[in-house]
Structure 1
Amino acid sequence: MTDPRYTLTQDDFPKDGLQFSETRRSLPMALLMAREAVMERFRPMLHALELTEQQWRVLRVLQESPGSDATLLARKACILAPSLTRMLKALEARTLITIARDPSDARRMILSLSEEGHALLKGAAQDSARLYGEIETAIGRERLHHLLDEIEALLDRLE
């Protein structure tokens, strides 16, 4: 049986004859609005760290995947390669990452967090955990885990 909350009806479409659902029921728009609502909570922390959202994602991916190359890093951090190149230079200038040539392929760069990068993330961990806790309190632990599971399922099926 289909849940009526997830079934589109004629009332969900504009009256001008165009076949678009309301933006709040459009998956791309709903995901963007949800992202903005979440990131609004994290931006003050990132501002205090003097990091952009993209730089934060790069550091977090490198924390989880040390020794990544630029291609893998760009994919995991959802950043276009040209933007990543500029960002890596800025993060290296701040001594938050290290960039080394792959000894087996000089064209390939190996990227890792520096000691300073690890220290920055360690210092931000408590604030980040507090912000996640606020989100969990606002929507509930079970709902948050269910939402993350559903997003993972969406990604798995669309890849």
Structure 2
Amino acid sequence: MSSARPSLTLTLLQARETAMAFFRPWLNQNGLTEQQWRIIHILRLQGKMESYQLAEQACMLKPSITGVLSRLSRDGLVRRRKSPQDRRRVLVELTEKGQKCFDVMSEDMELNYQRLLSQFGGENHQVLIGLLLELKGVKP
């Protein structure tokens, strides 16, 4: 009988929790959830997109993203519109308030990122990102 190997998925989750510990307090202080920040960040980097594409990019299920988008829309951070070409599709974009939210928060998020990198190391970070990108490309 072979010895049990460490769980890849559990280790990835634990590493994510460690990394998020650097950012979660700042998100909480600004009244945003991780999912809300993820959506704001993606929309800021990629611009307007369909809600299903946003769900894929944010690694969220469609029912979950619907609730998060409702709250972001209620708070004036995103705008949802039906596509003029296909009324069944919903386009999502940041509002001006959402853009400002990103701009204000990104400075402190970057400082927290630098704190994480100072402990983990820039070279380790580059290696890890490269390996994770390779892992993302593996097909089941």
Q: TM-score with structure 2 length normalisation? A: 0.95
Aligned to 2:24: 43
Q: 1:114: which partner in 2?
A: 95
* 1:104-143 equivalences in 2 (<5 Å): 104-143=85-124
Local SS of the residue matching 2:138:
helix
- Measured in 1, the distance between the counterparts of 2:40 and 2:113 equals 18
Contact 2:22–2:113 at 8 Å: present in 1 too? Answer: no
Within-5 A mapping of 1:15-94? 20-21=4-5, 25-94=6-75
Partner of 1:157: 138
- Greater radius of gyration (CA): 1
4+ residue segments displaced more than 2 Å: none
Aligned-residue RMSD, C-alpha: 1.4
* 1:12-61, Cα deviation, whole Å (9 max, x unpaired): x2xxxxxx32xxx2100110000000111111111011111111111111
Give the secondary-structure state (helix, strand or coil) at the position aligned to 1:100.
Answer: strand
Q: 2-side partners of 1:135 and 1:43: how far apart?
A: 13
**Aligned counterpart, 1:7:** none
**1:101 CA drift (Å):** 1.2
Tell me: higher relative CO, structure 1 or 2? Use CA pairs within 8 A at least 6 residues apart: 2
Residue deviations 1:78-106 (CA, integer Å, cap 9, x gap): 11000111111100000000111111001
Quick check: 1:144 aligned with 2:125?
yes
Give percent identity, aligned residues only.
32
1:158 Cα shift?
A: 3.2
CA drift at 1:68: 0.6
Where 1:111 maps in the other structure, the secondary structure is strand
CA contact (8 A) 2:52 2:62 kept: yes
Q: What CA distance in whole angstroms lies between the structure 2 residues aligned with 1:108 and 1:139? A: 42
Can you give the 5+ residue segments of structure 2 that lack an aligned partner in the other structure?
none
Aligned residues: 140
